[in-house]
Amino acid sequence: MDLGLAGKKVIINGGAQGLGLASLRIFAAEGADVAFLSRDAGKVEAAVAGMVPRKRMAQLDEVSALVAFLASDEAAFISGSDYAIDGAITAGMMGV
């Protein structure tokens, strides 16, 4: 089903369970960029693990390593690039 949501930005309050989680999954499946929050960090982690191919949230060192590289002299010739640190979500969307 194409709801025309690809690339749209969505914020869901209470997205870690019930209707919020169901909505989150629909928006994500339709290609929307989804952010969600919940008062229960454990439920947030479980919700993310259920949608990310790597079955977990990113660790700080996994993100900071790329940031440190891009800020270094070794990356001086890199410009205008996008880097997905998303646990293979993007790869899955591309059918890889």
Model's pTM, two decimal places? 0.57
Q: Which pLDDT value is given to residue 65?
A: 92
Say how many domains are in the chain.
Answer: 2
DSSP labels, 62-79: HHHHHHHHHTSGGGTT--
Q: Which pLDDT value is given to residue 96?
A: 42
Residues 33, 63, single domain; the answer is: no
What's the average pLDDT block by block, 10 residues per block, for the chain (96 residues)? 82 86 86 84 82 78 92 93 79 54
Domain containing 26 equals: 1-51
User: For the chain, where are the E strands, in sequence order?
Assistant: 9-13, 33-37
Q: Which pLDDT value is given to residue 93?
A: 56
Whether the CB-CB separation of 49 and 55 falls below 8 Å is answered with yes
- Dist CA 58 CA 86 (whole Å): 7
Q: Which pLDDT value is given to residue 92?
A: 65
Residues 7, 31, single domain; the answer is: yes
